Chains A and B, each alone.
Chain A
Amino acid sequence: MAKKLNRREFIKIAGMGAGGLAVGSSFLKPVSLFGQPLSKEKLLTSTFSEVTPTYCEICFWKCAGWVHKKEGKPWKIVGNPDDAHSNGRFCPRGTGGLGAYTDPDRLKTPLIRVEERGKQVFREASWDEAFDYITDKMNRIKEKYGPECMALFTHGSGGGYFKNLIRAYGSNNIAAPSYAQCRGPRAEAYLLTYGEGVGSPERTDIENTKCLVLIGSHIGENMHNGQVQEFTKAHMNGATVITVDPRFSTAASKSKYWLPIKPSTDLALLLAWINVIIEEELYDKEYVKKYTYGFDALKKAVKHNTPEWAYPITTIKPHVIRETAREMAAAAPAVIIHPGRHVTWYGDDTQRVRAGAILNALLGSWGRRGGFYAPSKAHVPKPKHPAYPKPSKGWRDAFPDKYPLANLALSSGICDATIPSTTDACSIKGWIVYGTNLIQTLPQPEKTIKAIQNLELLVAIDIMPSEITGWADVVLPECTYLERYDDLRISQGRVPSIALRAPAFEPRYNTKPAYWMAVQLAGRLGLSAYFPYERIEDYLEYRLKAVGSSLEEMKKLGVKNLPLEQELYFLNGEEYEFATPSGKIELYSETLAENGFDPIPVYTAHEEPEDGYYRLLYGRAPMHSFGRTTNNPLLYELKSENEVWINPKVAREWAIKTGDYIRLENQDKVVSNKIKVKVTERIRHDCVYMVHGFGHGQKQMRRSYKRGADDARLISRVNVDPIMGGTGMRVNFVTFRKEVA
């Protein structure tokens, strides 16, 4: 084939224009395109370009878009203009989503372990063999220990089917690292204060805000699409951005104020801001009086938290603390103290996030334009199935008398409960791990491996081989989101919406969708009644019919926005009841008091690094979703390894320069893989920073194997939040080792 000619042909054909099913703003009116009805036949017969609706699975933002094929071959993925998550523009990860499909390192067929765990010696198995193996073990665990001794760890769209399966089986030990290792403290802090959470996508009205305060949130580096878009909009509209971060993040570079705070002291700054807002009477008096509870107690409690008190703790000068507090008040109520997302930092995280929630309440931003809006969510009924059996033991029994205010199971707690001990009532014997690489997502990987050694069954369901699949007894290869239907995306936002994911391609290799796997397992376990529809298309049809749509319609639309059910903002002067014990926004939390915790956040100092050690901070890069994408051929090219950011003064002391490879050694003598140095003024002298998700130890990921270093390995120590069990992970200190051989 003459390749050069081919390329010219391509340009010529493309130049003709009208042949393709162009997806642009003209697609807003879905029923007809170019004045003609859009039929399925037409899509299939088009030789130039075909489009299939999807919502992205590369991160949890789940933007809806269109997968394009050209001459039957995968071409590109673009955003759906009707979708509020993306507004028609995918982020680099979504745009690079095709790499997940084309990656030659994907899991290809079911595997059954043949040698001892972790040695990674497997044999290829048929789906029947794999399911029989799992069924047999699950039946034995049920008989011997009870169904409560099975646990599910999950992340991603297909997790729901396995949740249904495991509940039907008789266990509610269902955990996601996104709670105890990520946003759990935020959920509980806002629940305690406002009686409801922030949700995802967050209900922050960033596009209308006049002042945005980011505390460690590096928007732009964490590429939560719609949020980044709103951030840019606000910035360009002249909103004041105040960024609190030991690192000059991308967001900091767009900010009017960058407060390079000493790490671990954010709560002191928040309390000082509260102090200024109260002492200078800058708070929204009417709002505070009408909607909040415990103002006098708060005023008293923060009396001593003056900017002068906070200065030596945070290193932020008193006049800067005052000035920024006044900026917030001037913008109120169109002001957002951003609640953050990954907030498990120091172990007092619920209290820190709560301090921000309290500040938002004082400024009257909850329920106000430019503050926090009231999101709407579509109600889409699911088909009925028999009631789940009631487990005799629940996830709370995995950690008795601890973390009283945890509202979701703790993945770290379930992991701990798998290690036999004399005190724990429940010892877990089997894990199903769906779409989460627990070795990297949980801190203290040694502990995770110790837990795994005590299991009688470990099933890993994934697309890529990862550290966790290496430890599994059975590996079930899932096809990518581009090769399957999935449950509807039902998301909250300013407008409630549903989105469809339909398969653009046939599954490659011997891979299968999660729904099919769950149905097959349910059949073998005698639980078919819990999956009333064997085919996911029929299940989707049922759900769509209930909201007046259909699979056919959704294949044309991709996204359907539904009518708004409530006002976005509080109505002036209206009474509102909050789902808290007092029915008000709780500046003083009765629930915390009853459980023996500080009802109003109190600053306590955290341990600091010894001489020659630096606090290990970690974060995100816009082109990767944790460790899930580092092997994606398209995204690997954008960033193939992480670097350790080191302040020039520190680098000089150690005679380290940009481009050097070093190793990091933590306080427990854990040594990292080698990592490239980035000497930069953009970080303080008392900490170092690296992007999470690199340094894979799984050889089968041929691109990303040992590229960069894995921060999780260096997180051998955590400070657990006593309120809800979140694992504070920014409590590890590292030093440098220059020998890398």
Chain B
Amino acid sequence: MRYAMAIDTKRCVGCADCVVACQTENNVPEGYCRDWIVEETIGAFPELQLEIRSERCNHCADSPCVRCCPTGASHYEEGGVVLVNHDECIGCKACIASCPYDARFVHPEGYVDKCTFCIHRVREGKNPACVDVCPTHAMIFGDVDDRNSDISKALRTRKYKTLIPEAGTEPHVFYLL
């Protein structure tokens, strides 16, 4: 089992619903977010392209954050989900420095926080909150080891990319093009 997310840039309108749904679902404190929107304009007037992406922790298979964590607070959970054990986190920020995606932040309560793929929901058989709220159905969550999952099908039939592949971290958030 390997959990992953595919985000369809053709569907995404950049409304940031995923951001606010994450904040309410996970009680993210004011001023912080675990996911965010990036808009990239390519070309010159009037030959333009716009790529809109909802970004978050990439739950890498070879995560520098897990490797560099001195206490083992950053660790892999089932399905390769990268989590931070808040009790073991000493707030040293080594993981923040090592993450190529700038996906982590120090929670006001002192530990490092980030996207959990809503593991508490996933364990109940639900999708992450961002996936379930998205008005344009731009996100697919699932098990890429299961050939019949929606995400496997999407990755077989659509072109996709990952962010900063050259970092070599094997990210598991895919962007459908």
| A interface residues, Cβ below 8 angstroms from B | 3-5, 7-8, 10-11, 14-15, 17, 22, 24, 75-79, 86, 89-92, 95-96, 98, 220-221, 223, 225, 228-229, 232, 235-236, 248, 250, 253-254, 258, 260, 622-623, 633-635, 637-639, 647-648, 680-684
Contact with A along B103-130 (1 / 0, CB 8 A): 0000001010000000111011110010
Q: Is the CB of B126 within 8 A of A4?
A: no
Q: List 27 A-B contacts (CB under 8 A).
A: A4-B111, A5-B87, A8-B86, A14-B120, A75-B24, A76-B21, A78-B132, A90-B135, A91-B15, A92-B21, A95-B17, A95-B133, A98-B24, A232-B138, A235-B10, A236-B11, A248-B45, A253-B49, A260-B46, A622-B14, A623-B16, A633-B30, A637-B23, A637-B30, A639-B16, A648-B45, A684-B45
**Lowest 3 CB-CB distances: which A-B pairs, in order?**
A220-B13, A253-B50, A622-B15
Q: Is the CB of B126 within 8 A of A95?
A: no
Q: Is the CB of A637 within 8 A of B33?
A: yes
Q: Which residues of A contact B16 (CB under 8 A)?
A: 92, 622-623, 638-639
Q: Which residues of B contact A90 (CB under 8 A)?
A: 17, 133, 135
Distance in Å: Cβ of A269 to nearest Cβ of chain B? 15
Q: Which residues of B contact A248 (CB under 8 A)?
A: 41, 45-46, 48, 50
Q: With A250-B52, A682-B41 given, is the CB distance from A634 to B20 under 8 Å?
A: yes
Q: Is the CB of B86 within 8 A of A253?
A: no
Q: Is the CB of B19 within 8 A of A638?
A: yes
Q: Which residues of A contact B5 (CB under 8 A)?
A: none
Q: Which residues of A contact B41 (CB under 8 A)?
A: 248, 680-682
Distance in Å: Cβ of A380 to nearest Cβ of chain B? 28
Q: Is the CB of A623 within 8 A of B20?
A: yes
Distance in Å: Cβ of A597 to nearest Cβ of chain B? 35
> Does B71 sit at the interface, judged by CB under 8 A?
no
Q: Is the CB of B13 within 8 A of A232?
A: yes
Distance in Å: Cβ of B129 to nearest Cβ of chain A? 8
Q: Which of B13, B19, B25, B123 contacts A76 (CB 8 A)?
A: B25
Q: Report whether over half of chain B's contact residues are helix, strand or loop; otherwise say mixed.
A: loop
Q: Which of A4, A10, A232, A648 contacts B109 (CB 8 A)?
A: A4
> A633 to B31, alpha carbons, bound, how many Å?
9
Q: Is the CB of B87 within 8 A of A681?
A: no
Q: Is the CB of B13 within 8 A of A681?
A: no
Distance in Å: Cβ of A84 to nearest Cβ of chain B? 13
Q: With A98-B24, A622-B15, A680-B41 given, is the CB distance from A228 to B48 under 8 Å?
A: no
Q: Is the CB of A17 within 8 A of B135?
A: no
Q: Which residues of A contact B132 (CB under 8 A)?
A: 78, 89
Q: Which residues of A contact B126 (CB under 8 A)?
A: 22, 24
* A635 to chain B: closest residue by CB: B20
> Does B4 sit at the interface, judged by CB under 8 A?
no
Q: A14-B124, A17-B123, A90-B133 are in contact. List 15 more A-B contacts (CB 8 A).
A: A3-B109, A5-B87, A89-B135, A91-B17, A92-B20, A96-B20, A232-B135, A232-B137, A236-B11, A248-B41, A250-B14, A254-B10, A622-B13, A622-B17, A682-B48
Q: Is the CB of A95 within 8 A of B46?
A: no
Q: Which residues of B contact A17 (CB under 8 A)?
A: 123-125
Q: Is the CB of B87 within 8 A of A647?
A: no
Distance in Å: Cβ of A173 to nearest Cβ of chain B? 37
Distance in Å: Cβ of A721 to nearest Cβ of chain B? 30
> A553 to B124, alpha carbons, bound, how many Å?
28
* B43 to chain A: closest residue by CB: A681
> Does B38 sit at the interface, judged by CB under 8 A?
no
> A254 to B13, alpha carbons, bound, how many Å?
9
Distance in Å: Cβ of B149 to nearest Cβ of chain A? 18
> A680 to B43, alpha carbons, bound, how many Å?
11
Contact with A along B39-57 (1 / 0, CB 8 A): 0010111101110100000
> Does B134 sit at the interface, judged by CB under 8 A?
yes
Distance in Å: Cβ of B90 to nearest Cβ of chain A? 12
Q: Which residues of B contact A229 (CB under 8 A)?
A: 135-137
* A683 to chain B: closest residue by CB: B45
Q: Which residues of A contact B137 (CB under 8 A)?
A: 229, 232
Q: Which of A5, A11, A254, A681 contacts B48 (CB 8 A)?
A: A681
> A278 to B120, alpha carbons, bound, how many Å?
60
Q: Which of B14, B23, B86 contacts A634 (CB 8 A)?
A: B23
How many of chain B's residues have a CB under 8 angstroms from any CB in A?
A: 44
* B15 to chain A: closest residue by CB: A622
Q: Which residues of B contact A86 (CB under 8 A)?
A: 135
Q: Which of B10, B11, B46, B135 contacts A91 (CB 8 A)?
A: B135
Q: Which residues of A contact B134 (CB under 8 A)?
A: 89
Q: Is the CB of A220 within 8 A of B20?
A: no
Q: With A637-B30, A638-B20 given, is the CB distance from A4 to B15 under 8 Å?
A: no
Q: Is the CB of A15 within 8 A of B124?
A: yes
Q: With A76-B25, A223-B15 given, is the CB distance from A14 to B121 under 8 Å?
A: yes
> A217 to B48, alpha carbons, bound, how many Å?
19
Q: Is the CB of B86 within 8 A of A4?
A: yes
Q: Which residues of A contact B31 (CB under 8 A)?
A: 637
Q: Which residues of A contact B125 (CB under 8 A)?
A: 17
Q: Which residues of A contact B87 (CB under 8 A)?
A: 4-5, 8
Distance in Å: Cβ of A638 to nearest Cβ of chain B? 5
* A74 to chain B: closest residue by CB: B24
* A14 to chain B: closest residue by CB: B120
Contact with A along B132-170 (1 / 0, CB 8 A): 111111100000000000000000000000000000000
Distance in Å: Cβ of B27 to nearest Cβ of chain A? 8
* A680 to chain B: closest residue by CB: B41
* A684 to chain B: closest residue by CB: B45
Report which residue of A77, A95, A236, A250 has the largest number of chain B beta carbons within 10 angstroms of its beta carbon.
A95
Q: Which residues of B contact A258 (CB under 8 A)?
A: 46, 48
Q: Is the CB of B52 within 8 A of A7?
A: no
Q: Is the CB of B50 within 8 A of A232?
A: no
> A637 to B87, alpha carbons, bound, how many Å?
28
Q: Is the CB of A681 within 8 A of B45?
A: yes
Report which residue of B41, B43, B133, B138 has the largest number of chain A beta carbons within 10 angstroms of its beta carbon.
B133
Distance in Å: Cβ of B112 to nearest Cβ of chain A? 12
Q: Is the CB of A15 within 8 A of B123?
A: yes
Q: With A250-B50, A634-B20 given, is the CB distance from A232 to B123 under 8 Å?
A: no
> A7 to B120, alpha carbons, bound, how many Å?
11
B51-92 contacts to A, CB under 8 A, are 52, 86-87
> A220 to B37, alpha carbons, bound, how many Å?
14
* B42 to chain A: closest residue by CB: A681
Q: Which residues of B contact A250 (CB under 8 A)?
A: 13-14, 50, 52
> A232 to B135, alpha carbons, bound, how many Å?
9
Q: Which residues of A contact B119 (CB under 8 A)?
A: 11
> A92 to B119, alpha carbons, bound, how many Å?
22
> A684 to B48, alpha carbons, bound, how many Å?
12
Q: Is the CB of B13 within 8 A of A78?
A: no
Q: Which residues of B contact A680 (CB under 8 A)?
A: 41
Distance in Å: Cβ of A338 to nearest Cβ of chain B? 16
Q: Which of B10, B21, B120 contacts A95 (CB 8 A)?
A: B21
> A404 to B91, alpha carbons, bound, how many Å?
69
Q: Which of A22, A77, A228 contacts B13 (CB 8 A)?
A: A228
> A66 to B16, alpha carbons, bound, how many Å?
20
Q: Which of A7, A24, A78, A98 contacts B133 (CB 8 A)?
A: A78
Report which residue of B16, B41, B119 has the largest number of chain A beta carbons within 10 angstroms of its beta carbon.
B16
